[in-house]
Structures are given as C-alpha cells and as structure tokens.
Chains A and B, each alone.
Chain A
C-alpha cells in the first residue's frame, strides 16, 4: 500500500493508513507502520504511567513510558508503540474491532500525545475562522464544540481544526495550526447538516459525519481572537455571552488540555506557561445556550456580531 504524508497541527505524519487530512511532501515528523492486529487489553500496558482515563469497565485509555519508548493503549480499540524520540509509531489494531478506529486516533489522539510530550500545549477545541480571525470553541467530548463550529460554517466561517487546538506564537500573536479541515459531528446532527451547505460530508469509522466547510480558508494561519466555552442548558434559555475574568479564563484553559487524565508532572510543567500566556492574551467567553436548533441559531447570531478585534 502506498504511504502518504499528511499535515496535521504542524506535524507531518507518514502513514500507510489513509487519513482525511491534507497530503503534503516533506520529511515526516512521525512515521506510522502497521503490525498484525491482536486483542488490546482494557488495562494500562506495563511501564511508568503517564496518563490514565477510564470511563467505565473496558472503556478508557492509558499511556505509559516503557524501556523502549511509549505505549498508547486505547482499551479494546488499538495500541500505538512509539520510540523514545517519538518519530516512529507501530500501530496494532484490536482484532475484534471492525471497522478500525485507527484513522480517528491517528487524526487526533496520537498527534496530541506527541505534541504534548515535546512541550507543545494542545487544547481540546474546534476552531473556525473568517478573514484570518479565528474563534475557538473549548469543550470536552460532547460539549458542543464541533456543532458550534459547524453552525458557524453557515455564516461565512471556514473550518480550521476539530478537536485539537495548537498555537504558534508570532511575537505576541497566537496563530492557529491547521488540522484536517473536517468537523466530526454526532449522529444527531442531521438537522444542522440539512440547514447548511458543506463542502463535503462522509461517515467516519466511529459513526460520526465529518463535514468540511464550503468556504476554504487561505493558507495563512489565522489569528486566534476569541475563545468560547459553551455551556449547554435546557431548552428555553436565551443564548448569552459572558466575558470571563482572568482566573476563570485560566481555569478554562487549564481544564481543557486535550490529553485527559494526564499524570506526568514534567509535561504539565512545560505547557503551563503557554496556558497562562494564552489565557492572558485571548479573551475567553462563556456561551450559555439552549440545546437544540433554536439555541444554536441564537448562539451563531451572537457570535457573528462579536467583535474580533485585537485588544
């Protein structure tokens, strides 16, 4: 099988597994190879525990440091074995899973780990942009970030990244690194998808619908002007924005590191200064909105009129 090199969050990832991400030429930062599938246990691999997150019996993930590098285990799904330099990854898909979740993990979780281990802040956010000005929606899984980002695509915004927010600082200006350009929506997003013309739609291996915006962004990395933290309420609540104070802003940024359950102090120490810098540089707003199409519509109307000027 031919191998392509994909550009994701500033990394070039060479993979024999097809990823829905821009294909580029260049020296890869991470080379992925496949090994034979096997059962991936629902427990951490032996080694020094860096990160562990368990949602329930048999459901979770753990990353460990081993004598030969790192093992990223997604229980019952897949395992990635990385060398100490984080340049090579061997992927072992769980033999009981079909279709494989490996492409989805390669698009987000594995790059997030690699970036965090090399001292890069990676936040859990989706980003859209218009005229080189970006809005990030900061939320955990199921928190509405992809849905809000997709809804903004119906108002002249282009999708920049889904799930991972990585910043490059150009002097004091935070620039957003490009992700795949797709937003991954849950199965209950049919009404939203019917109301907006997207550039493309496809069903992912985990049953979501990945959409790309009809508008493509320019090649220039957009400047992050606003961070939005959605809070989904019951129906009947009018959408409203509230600017967060300094301590609240930092709380929001600290709570949304992309790799949840992190326990390794050295990586947290490396990214803490950048988290503080972001919270002090970019205005953070809480967006309260009602669940459902009307709440989404009200939220988009508020966000469209939010001034994206630099302060």
Chain B
C-alpha cells in the first residue's frame, strides 16, 4: 500500500519552518511542523509506509519505535482529513 497526496490539497511554505496545507474538499487548513513538512515533501510521489519511516529516520535523530508510531499516526491523520489517499 502506498500513500499519495490528494489533488484537493494545496500547500504554502510559511517561511518560518512550517508548511500550510489547505484541504479544499472540507475548506480546512493545517499547519505542519518540521517533521510533517519532511513527510509531506517526500510524498511528492506515492510512497509506502516503510519508505516514509526510513526517510524520517534519515532526517531526524529518532529511534525506530517512536518514528514508526509517530509516522503512522501522522499518516492516519492526513488520510482522515482527506489530505492524503491510500492507493
């Protein structure tokens, strides 16, 4: 299973380390922190959960268990909000 960005999400770099993501289908927006921004940027092409976790670990000093839990939670939130789709 892969994750991909929804076509109904638009983004803007806020210049303060955060990324704004607007979910057009619900008219709601979200601010992503540095970790979220790394994952969102990595999702420029569809990625597996394993690829995403490995990428986060390569970018941040974080242990495997924490990375796994946080990444899965974040991806689940993105899917629930309609910003990312499972394909």
Where the two chains meet, the residues of A that have a C-beta atom closer than 8 Å to any C-beta of B are 245-247, 250-251, 254, 262-263, 265-266, 268-269, 272-273, 276, 279-280
Contact = CB atoms under 8 A, between A and B. Distances in A.
Interface stretch (B16-24, B38-46, B52-60): B16-24
Nearest to A277: B12
B68 to A, nearest CB: 27
A51 to B, nearest CB: 9
Given A265-B8, A268-B24, A272-B10, A247 B29 contact: no
B15 A280 contact: yes
B6 to A, nearest CB: 10
- SS of A interface (majority): helix
Given A247-B18, A254-B29, A276 B12 contact: yes
Interface of B: 8, 10, 12, 14-16, 18, 20, 22, 24-25, 27, 29, 31
Contact of B31 (A251, A265, A268, A273): A251
Contacts of B18: 246-247
B5 to A, nearest CB: 14
Most chain B CB inside 10 Å of its own CB: which residue of A250, A266, A269, A279 = A250
A282 to B, nearest CB: 14
A247 B14 contact: yes
A262 B25 CA distance: 10
8 contacts: A247-B14, A263-B27, A265-B24, A265-B25, A272-B22, A276-B20, A280-B14, A280-B15
Nearest to B8: A265
Given A250-B31, A254-B20, A262-B27, 10 more contacts: A246-B14, A247-B31, A250-B12, A254-B22, A265-B25, A272-B22, A276-B12, A276-B20, A279-B14, A280-B15
A273 B29 contact: no
Given A246-B16, A272-B12, A251 B29 contact: yes
A277 to B, nearest CB: 9
A269 B21 CA distance: 11
* 6 closest residue pairs by CB, A with B: A265-B24, A246-B16, A276-B12, A246-B14, A247-B18, A247-B31
